[in-house]
């Protein structure tokens, strides 16, 4: 199989380098920093500007290059691989290969479709907010699952899991939507993880501890 590189795909909505989810937060932090600068001077304003810079980096959402190749599963999130294991996919009631990506507050938090295909179903479950780096987060935390089915009928479940300080999972797709690998489909605020459940015969292309980027890096081959 030959793997090449494709140009970044255009998002289905206008999407600049800063994710639209961050515009209100960035506006508030910059206005606050300007106000403190004008009223109290730079000495008092410096910490507020640091907060504004943190908000700016957290909500960055750069374009990504999507590898070309049949059966590739791209990472749906930026972060570190914290699990590669056979387990139960409770959403589709099957045994599956699970690959988990942990995102810290310095990672890009825009989530991308891992495969080309159609959205068959999505589920939302309220829950706790324990550290997303822990295995129990997959079962106990607030989470949103999306069932993707590829054009050749293979099932992939991508589960957004809230973290210790994450308090909002955003998902923009509905059953019937058709996505290309690398398309933006959601966002999680402030630290979290994404679990990807694949057919048991999928071939992992990553190892524990690897750092991956959404859309650009391949997790497995179906």
At residue 10, the pLDDT reads 45
Return d(Cα 122, Cα 143) in angstroms, integer.
11
Read off the pTM.
0.81
Which residues contact residue 134 at a Cβ distance below 8 angstroms, ignoring those fewer than 6 apart?
none
| pLDDT tens for the chain, residues 1 to 222 | 334 444 444 444 455 677 777 788 888 988 998 999 999 889 898 989 998 888 887 778 888 889 989 999 999 999 999 999 999 999 999 999 999 999 888 888 889 999 999 999 999 887 555 544 445 545 556 789 999 999 899 999 999 987 665 557 889 999 999 999 999 999 887 668 899 999 999 999 999 999 999 999 999 999
CATH number of 76-211: 2.30.130, 2.60.40, 2.70.70, 3.30.160?
2.70.70
At residue 106, the pLDDT reads 85
At residue 15, the pLDDT reads 54
At residue 177, the pLDDT reads 95
Return d(Cα 99, Cα 205) in angstroms, integer.
10
Q: Are the C-beta atoms of residues 90 and 35 closer than 8 Å to each other?
A: no
Catalytic residue among 74, 110, 158, 192: 192
Q: Are the C-beta atoms of residues 196 and 157 closer than 8 Å to each other?
A: yes
Helical residues (DSSP H) of the chain, grouped into ranges = 23-40, 42-58, 137-140
At residue 1, the pLDDT reads 38
Can 192 be counted among the known catalytic residues?
yes
Domain extents for the chain?
20-58, 76-211
């Amino acid at each position: 199989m030959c793997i090449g590189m494709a140009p970044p795909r255009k998002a289905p909505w206008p999407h600049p380098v800063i994710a639209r989810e961050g515009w209100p937060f960035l506006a508030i932090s910059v206005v606050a920093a300007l106000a403190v600068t004008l009223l109290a001077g730079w000495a008092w304003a410096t910490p507020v500007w640091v907060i504004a810079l943190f908000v700016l980096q957290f909500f960055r959402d750069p374009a990504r290059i999507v590898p070309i190749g049949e059966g590739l599963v791209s990472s749906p999130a930026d972060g570190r691989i914290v699990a590669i294991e056979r387990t139960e996919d409770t959403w589709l009631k099957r045994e599956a290969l699970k690959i988990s990506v942990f995102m810290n507050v310095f990672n890009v938090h825009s989530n991308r479709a891992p495969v080309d295909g159609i959205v068959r179903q999505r589920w939302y479950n309220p829950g706790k907010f324990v550290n997303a780096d822990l295995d129990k987060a997959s079962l106990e935390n607030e989470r949103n699952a999306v069932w993707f089915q590829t054009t050749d009928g293979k099932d992939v479940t991508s589960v957004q899991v809230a973290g210790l300080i994450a308090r909002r999972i955003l998902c923009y797709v509905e059953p019937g939507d058709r996505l290309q690998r690398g398309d933006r489909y959601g966002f999680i605020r402030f630290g979290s993880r994404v679990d990807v459940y694949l057919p048991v015969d999928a071939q992992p292309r990553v190892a524990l501890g690897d750092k991956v980027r959404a859309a650009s890096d391949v997790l497995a081959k179906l």
